[in-house]
Amino acid sequence: MNNILKYIYIILFFISVIFFLIRANTLYKYKGWFYKLILLLLSGIFMTISLYYNNIYLNDYILPILLYLNILILIYITIRNKKNNLDYITILGLIYLLLTFKIKNFKIKNGKLINPDIEWIYSSIILLILYYILSNNNSITYYSKIGLILLILYPLLFPIDEYFIHRIYSLCLAVSTNYILFI
């Protein structure tokens, strides 16, 4: 990964944390999304550490478990905000991702996946795009859906082993900026 891009991501991540702290008291009312944001920020913190420091627990367990929990919480959010039968389709897609998740395929070294599960990553991209397209959640507007889909696709511009580095940092910045500007 390019060092300049790494430093840009870290600076933008700290800006994201500041944005989150500014709005944390008003975000709590969006219970599920608030918890998802906490998981996302924890992922950003641990990914930042992983970029510079190799720790077996962090790289082999904590970051993969945070990825798993980030998908799991989408099921909670969907059930809590269920509007119609299309939500069941998205829940089934998320359950599929959880059932096919193998922690050994998400071990990381210096932020990069050691043995990327390419099939799972592409499945998650497709299923998350469907999740956002089919979502009837009031907090996800048409323009938010487009932005979230672009954030899923953006990391594909880089090598697949770096997918989650780019996903985490771009998502942290976009979500926290959205909270500052629109909530």
pLDDT tens, position by position, 153-162 = 999 999 999 9
Mean pLDDT of all residues in 117-133: 94
The percentage of residues in the chain with a pLDDT greater than 70, rounded to a whole number, is 93
Q: Which residue has the higher pLDDT, 166 or 182?
A: 166
Mean pLDDT of all residues in 120-139: 85
pLDDT at site 80: 82
pTM summary value: 0.89
Instruction: Examine the pLDDT at 66 and tell me if it is beyond 80.
Output: yes
- Choice among 41-50, 106-115, 138-147, 159-168 with the minimum mean pLDDT: 138-147
Q: Is 177 exposed, middle or buried (0-12, 13-18, 19+ CB in 10 A)?
A: middle
Q: Which residues contact 123 (CB under 8 A, 6 or more apart)?
A: 96, 97, 100
pLDDT at site 84: 76
pLDDT at site 103: 95
Instruction: Examine the pLDDT at 138 and tell me if it is beyond 60.
Output: no
Instruction: Examine the pLDDT at 139 and tell me if it is beyond 60.
Output: no
